[in-house]
């Protein structure tokens, strides 16, 4: 936080009296007003409207007439009692958990690798970011091609190594489709993890390592007793943020498998989409969306509390 060092005497010269101070305040509120109005109208109001939809029976017929009957919590009961919802919830957690685990481990390893300077380090780090910036649609299309059953490179490599026999249709086989989209998503998330963890590594005081060296600690011991404990807060931040961002992934799955085959890769965001835009059951779609939001919000709050605590210390 930058504290503003204003000269009170000079301020008085400009703002004579309290009234003008108030005018100034008002000016500042006017500066922020358009953005606040936008956020209220296009984000907060729609979220509230979503709650309204979730307690009404909105389908194709009632949608057009605009007076859908109030049904209380019936949509929620229907969603929660539906095995496809519980299945999607499970798929969402498996997708998020597996993605995070591998992204984090690989990201951590890369962060350690890039921590110490070497020729070419900067260029390589920039290139790493490129994978993060590429439109998700592009990456997802490329992975669909890489995992293609007939002529995909992944099959060719695995066959050459003798790991796979015959053609594997990764994305159309219900047993492997989830693994396929997780693989692509791990690739996508590595730069995010590596960059944030690298920033964490660079925040560790060099003197800790020097002191440990003087005391005769070896490389592994320095990693085990300095790097790991010092990286705990950053790691927790990265994992929580990663969870929130991974749980809401839609593009990658939608493009690679469309949630299928059948429901093999139907995560909660995909289920919400299907209910709303495929089956036009806006009420149940809104109810599922609300449940998705509650999960995301809980973890977001956990994340915000965490960074608040870090800022305080």
- Of residues 151-170, which lie at the interface with another protein (CB under 8 A)? 151, 153, 156, 160
Give min distance, CB of 241 to another protein, in A. Answer: 7
Give the tokens for residue 174.
Answer: 């219900």
262 binds another protein, rule: CB under 8 A: no
Give min distance, CB of 160 to another protein, in A. Answer: 8
Give min distance, CB of 216 to another protein, in A. Answer: 24
* CB contact set of 285 (below 8 Å; sequence gap of 6+): 53, 272, 273, 275, 276, 277, 279
List the helix and strand counts (H, then E) for the chain: 17, 0
Give the tokens for residue 104.
Answer: 């984090």
Among 62, 112, 132, 179, binds another protein (CB under 8 A): 132
Q: Which runs of E-coded beta strand occur in 25-98? A: none
User: Distance between alpha carbon 92 and the CA centroid of its chain, in Å?
Assistant: 12
Among 192, 257, 265, 281, binds another protein (CB under 8 A): 192
* CA gap 256, 182 in Å, rounded: 11
Helix, strand, or coil (residue 38): helix
Map the footprint of another protein across residues 168-187, applying CB under 8 A.
Answer: 187
* CA gap 259, 267 in Å, rounded: 7
Give min distance, CB of 293 to another protein, in A. Answer: 5
**Piece in contact with another protein (CB under 8 A), picked from 34-42, 96-104, 167-175, 215-223:** 34-42
Cβ–Cβ < 8 Å for 170, 179: yes
42 binds another protein, rule: CB under 8 A: yes
Give min distance, CB of 228 to another protein, in A. Answer: 20
- Exposure class string for 104-118: b at 16+ Cβ within 10 A, else e: bebbbebbbebeeee
Among 113, 202, 215, 236, binds another protein (CB under 8 A): 113
Give min distance, CB of 301 to another protein, in A. Answer: 8
250 binds another protein, rule: CB under 8 A: yes
The count of residues interacting with another protein (CB under 8 A) is: 105
Q: For another protein, give the closer residue by CB, 4 or 313.
A: 4
* CA gap 59, 205 in Å, rounded: 59
27 binds another protein, rule: CB under 8 A: yes
* CB contact set of 108 (below 8 Å; sequence gap of 6+): 193, 194, 197, 231, 235
Map the footprint of another protein across residues 133-152, applying CB under 8 A.
Answer: 133-139, 141-146, 148, 150-151
Map the footprint of another protein across residues 63-82, applying CB under 8 A.
Answer: 63, 66
Q: For another protein, give the closer residue by CB, 262 or 294.
A: 294
Map the footprint of another protein across residues 201-240, applying CB under 8 A.
Answer: 237
Long-range contacts for 76-81 (Cβ within 8 Å, ≥24 apart)? 76/287, 76/290, 76/291, 78/284, 78/287, 79/284, 79/287, 79/288, 79/291, 80/291
Give min distance, CB of 162 to another protein, in A. Answer: 15
* CA gap 281, 274 in Å, rounded: 9
Among 255, 259, 264, 265, binds another protein (CB under 8 A): 255
Q: For another protein, give the closer residue by CB, 178 or 193.
A: 193
């Amino acid at each position: 936080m930058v504290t503003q060092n204003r000269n009170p005497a000079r301020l008085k010269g400009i703002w004579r009296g309290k009234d003008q101070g108030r005018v100034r305040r008002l000016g500042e509120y006017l500066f922020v007003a358009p953005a606040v109005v936008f956020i209220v109208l296009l984000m907060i109001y729609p979220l509230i409207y979503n709650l309204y939809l979730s307690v009404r029976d909105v389908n194709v017929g009632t949608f057009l007439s605009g007076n859908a009957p109030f049904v209380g919590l019936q949509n929620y009961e229907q969603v929660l009692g539906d095995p496809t919802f519980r299945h999607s919830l499970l798929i969402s957690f498996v997708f998020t958990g597996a993605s995070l685990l591998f992204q984090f481990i690989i990201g951590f390893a890369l962060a350690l690798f890039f921590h110490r300077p070497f020729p070419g380090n900067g260029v390589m780090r920039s290139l790493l970011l490129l994978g993060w910036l590429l439109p998700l649609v592009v990456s997802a299309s490329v992975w669909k091609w890489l995992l293609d059953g007939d002529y995909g490179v992944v099959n060719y490599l695995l066959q050459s190594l003798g790991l796979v026999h015959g053609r594997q249709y990764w994305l159309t086989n219900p047993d492997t489709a989830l693994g396929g989209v997780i693989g692509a998503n791990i690739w996508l998330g590595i730069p995010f993890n590596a960059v944030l963890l690298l920033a964490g590594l660079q925040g560790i005081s060099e003197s800790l390592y020097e002191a440990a060296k003087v005391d005769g600690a070896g490389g592994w011991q320095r990693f085990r007793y300095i790097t790991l404990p010092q990286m705990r807060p950053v790691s927790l931040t990265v994992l929580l943020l990663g969870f929130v961002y991974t749980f809401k992934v839609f593009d990658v799955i939608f493009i690679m498998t469309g949630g299928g085959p059948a429901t093999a890769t139907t995560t909660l965001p995909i289920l919400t989409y299907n209910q709303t835009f495929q089956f036009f059951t806006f009420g149940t779609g809104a109810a599922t969306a609300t449940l998705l939001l509650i999960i995301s919000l809980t973890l977001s709050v956990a994340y915000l509390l965490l960074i608040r605590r870090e800022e305080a210390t």
